Chains A and B, each alone.
Chain A
Amino acid sequence: MRRSPFLLFDPSLDNSSSRADSEEGGMAVNNVQTESSPFYDERMGLNSNLLTGPVTFEWLSQAEDARLNGSSDAFQPFLDKAAQSAEAAMNGDHASSRFSVINEFNIWRQKPELAEAVAAIKALTCVIRRSEATTMMGLEIELKKAAETLKMWDKTSISLSAGCDLFMRYVTRTSALEYEDISAGKSRLIERGEKFGEISLKARQTIANLGQEFVYDGSLILTHGYSRVVLALLKLAASQGKRFQVVCTEGRPDNTGLEMAKELMGAKIPMMLILDAGVANMMGQIDMVLLGAEGVVESGGVINHIGTYQTALVARSMNKPVYVAAESYKFARLFPLDQMDMSPTPRIVDLAVPAQEENIKIQTSERDYTPPQYLTLLFTDLGILTPSAVSDELIQLYL
Chain B
Amino acid sequence: MERRGRAVIDPKVRQVGFVTPGEGTDLINLAIPLEQGANSPSPVLIPPVRINDGASVAPAKAAPMPVPSPTSRRHPTVDVNLPLGSYNPADSVLGSSNTPSSGKAGSHGESLRSSATFIELQSETSDYPTVGSGTIAPVLITEKGPPPPLHIPPGGSSPLTPMNVQADKGKSQKVGLDEKAKEGKTKSLKERTSKAERRAAQEAQRAAKKAAEESGGSKPTKGDVGGTGASQKDSKASKGTHQKTNSAERRTSSSGKPADKGQEKEKKKDVPAPRMQFDDAERVAKAKKRSLVEQTETKNRVELFRHLPQFVHGTQLPSLESKFFQDESMHPHPAIYKVGLQYLTGDLVGGNARCVAMLMAFREMIQDYSTPPEKIFVRDLTQKINSHVSFLNTCRPLAISMGNAIKFLKTRVVNLAEELSEAEAKASLIAEIDRFIQEKILYADKEIVKHAVQKIRDGDVCLTYGSSCVVEMILLKAHEMGKKFRVVVVDSRPKLEGKRLLKRLLSEGLDCTYTYINAMSYIMQEVTRVFLGAASVLANGTVYSRVGTASVAMVAHAFSVPVMICCETYKFHERVQLDSITANELGNPDALVKVWGRRDLTDLEGWSPEDKHLQLLNLTYDATPSDYVAMVITELGMVPPSSVPVILREYRRELPG
Inter-chain contact B484/A25, CB cutoff 8 Å: yes
Inter-chain contact A3/B526, CB cutoff 8 Å: yes
Decide: A5 near B461, CB < 8 A? Known: A299-B631, A343-B454: yes
- Could you give, for residues 439-461 of chain B, a 1 whenever the CB lies within 8 Å of some chain A CB and a 0 otherwise? 00000000000000011011111
**Smallest Cβ-Cβ distance to B560: which chain A residue:** A338
Inter-chain contact B458/A298, CB cutoff 8 Å: no
Question: How distant is the Cα of A305 from the Cα of B637 in the complex, in angstroms?
Answer: 26
**Smallest Cβ-Cβ distance to A9: which chain B residue:** B459
Interface residues on A, range: 20 to 34
Those of A26-44 within 8 Å (CB) of chain B:
27-28
Inter-chain contact B562/A338, CB cutoff 8 Å: yes
Those of B223-272 within 8 Å (CB) of chain A:
none
Question: How distant is the Cα of A343 from the Cα of B646 in the complex, in angstroms?
Answer: 25
Residues of chain A contacted by B642 (CB below 8 angstroms): 300, 388, 391
Those of A322-354 within 8 Å (CB) of chain B:
333, 335, 337-338, 340-341, 343
- Could you give, for residues 296-313 of chain A, a 1 whenever the CB lies within 8 Å of some chain B CB and a 0 otherwise? 001110000000000000
The count of chain B contact residues (Cβ–Cβ below 8 Å) is 28
20 contacting pairs across A/B (C-beta < 8 A): A5-B460, A5-B528, A8-B459, A9-B459, A25-B457, A25-B483, A25-B484, A27-B457, A298-B639, A298-B643, A300-B640, A337-B630, A338-B562, A388-B642, A395-B636, A395-B639, A395-B647, A395-B650, A396-B646, A399-B650
User: A392 at the A/B interface (Cβ < 8 Å)?
Assistant: yes
Question: How distant is the Cα of A9 from the Cα of B459 in the complex, in angstroms?
Answer: 8
Inter-chain contact B526/A22, CB cutoff 8 Å: no
- Partner pick for A395 among B457, B631, B643, CB 8 A cutoff: B643
Kindly provide the distance from the CB of A360 to the nearest chain B CB, expressed in whole angstroms: 23
Question: How distant is the Cα of A388 from the Cα of B541 in the complex, in angstroms?
Answer: 12
Inter-chain contact B458/A27, CB cutoff 8 Å: yes
Inter-chain contact A392/B643, CB cutoff 8 Å: yes
- Could you give, for residues 379-399 of chain A, a 1 whenever the CB lies within 8 Å of some chain B CB and a 0 otherwise? 000000000100110011011
Question: How distant is the Cα of A299 from the Cα of B630 in the complex, in angstroms?
Answer: 9
**Smallest Cβ-Cβ distance to B647: which chain A residue:** A395
Inter-chain contact A22/B639, CB cutoff 8 Å: no
Kindly provide the distance from the CB of A328 to the nearest chain B CB, expressed in whole angstroms: 16
Inter-chain contact B455/A341, CB cutoff 8 Å: yes
Question: How distant is the Cα of A4 from the Cα of B647 in the complex, in angstroms?
Answer: 37
**Smallest Cβ-Cβ distance to B528: which chain A residue:** A5
User: B521 at the A/B interface (Cβ < 8 Å)?
Assistant: no
Inter-chain contact B639/A2, CB cutoff 8 Å: no
Those of A215-238 within 8 Å (CB) of chain B:
none
Residues of chain A contacted by B562 (CB below 8 angstroms): 337-338
User: B284 at the A/B interface (Cβ < 8 Å)?
Assistant: no
Q: A372-B640, A396-B650 are in contact. List 19 more A-B contacts (CB 8 A).
A: A2-B526, A3-B461, A5-B528, A21-B458, A25-B459, A298-B640, A299-B640, A337-B529, A340-B457, A341-B457, A343-B454, A388-B642, A392-B643, A395-B639, A395-B646, A395-B647, A396-B646, A398-B637, A399-B636
Kindly provide the distance from the CB of B515 to the nearest chain A CB, expressed in whole angstroms: 14
Q: Which of B460, B631, B643 has the most CB of A within 10 A?
A: B643
Q: Which of A338, A340, A343 has the most CB of B within 10 A?
A: A338
Residues of chain A contacted by B484 (CB below 8 angstroms): 25
Kindly provide the distance from the CB of A153 to the nearest chain B CB, expressed in whole angstroms: 22
User: B370 at the A/B interface (Cβ < 8 Å)?
Assistant: no
Residues of chain B contacted by A27 (CB below 8 angstroms): 457-458
**Smallest Cβ-Cβ distance to A22: which chain B residue:** B458
- Partner pick for A337 among B631, B646, B647, CB 8 A cutoff: B631
Question: How distant is the Cα of A27 from the Cα of B631 in the complex, in angstroms?
Answer: 21
Q: Which of A9, A299, A341 has the most CB of B within 10 A?
A: A299
Inter-chain contact B483/A391, CB cutoff 8 Å: no
Residues of chain A contacted by B636 (CB below 8 angstroms): 395, 399
Inter-chain contact B458/A391, CB cutoff 8 Å: no
Q: Which of B457, B564, B650 has the most CB of A within 10 A?
A: B457
**Smallest Cβ-Cβ distance to A333: which chain B residue:** B637
Residues of chain A contacted by B529 (CB below 8 angstroms): 337
Residues of chain A contacted by B458 (CB below 8 angstroms): 21-22, 25, 27
Residues of chain B contacted by A399 (CB below 8 angstroms): 636-637, 650
User: B469 at the A/B interface (Cβ < 8 Å)?
Assistant: no
Residues of chain B contacted by A398 (CB below 8 angstroms): 637
Residues of chain A contacted by B457 (CB below 8 angstroms): 25, 27-28, 340-341
Inter-chain contact B525/A4, CB cutoff 8 Å: yes
Inter-chain contact B455/A392, CB cutoff 8 Å: no
Kindly provide the distance from the CB of B155 to the nearest chain A CB, expressed in whole angstroms: 14
User: B510 at the A/B interface (Cβ < 8 Å)?
Assistant: no
